[in-house]
Amino acid sequence: MRVNHHKSLLERMDHLVLWSGIPRLNEFRVRRRPLRWMPIMALALASAGFIAILLRPGSYWIGYSILMVGFAVGSWLPIFGPVSLFFPGVDNVDERERSLRRDALLVGCATISFMVLVGLFILMLLTVLQDWPRGTLLRAMLSLALYAMVLYSSVPTLYASWAMPRPVDDDA
């Protein structure tokens, strides 16, 4: 390997960065597509699990299992859906996509805030009316936190998927 002594230090560092392949990773663009029914399925499973936990605290593990299936489905939605919740700077997005992402996240945060307030009120009411023991209340609060995480991953994807225009097939 021949060393070129006429390059400055910054030019050599640029050459090393290009050699590493890291700038090519930023050129890769994820093709985001609307997921219209998967968020509904994740929300339905998580809601059914959370309701089962509230109605039948003695059979907690059944409701928790259903809630976790909804959580597992919902956790993959931001990766493949129309809005990225985790890495907003990786994609080269235009103004319309930024606006859609902002609106989806605002709808998601409003939904989470409302549902957590309703959930806490329901937990307080059930604790008073059914005289839940401390362990049952703690498990229900954990389930509410998991339900909020499902809302965080599913509601923005659901909103953005239905706000986007339907994809047109190239074959038609």
79-93, 110-124, 141-155: range with lowest mean pLDDT: 79-93
Q: Where are the domains of the chain?
A: 9-163
Q: What is the mean pLDDT of residues 163-167?
A: 72
CB 143 within 8 A of CB 49: yes
17-21, 24-28, 49-53, 124-128: range with lowest mean pLDDT: 24-28
Q: Is the predicted pLDDT of residue 172 greater than 50, yes or no?
A: no
| Cα torsion through 159, 167, 83, 145, rounded to 10 | 40
40: left (phi over 0), alpha (psi -120 to 50) or beta: alpha
What pLDDT sits at residue 4? Answer: 55
Q: What is the mean pLDDT of residues 137-161?
A: 93
Of the spans 67-71, 95-99, 134-138, which averages the highest pLDDT?
67-71
| C-alpha to C-alpha distance for 9 and 34, rounded to whole angstroms | 46
What is the length of the chain?
172
Question: What pTM, to 2 d.p., does this model score?
Answer: 0.74
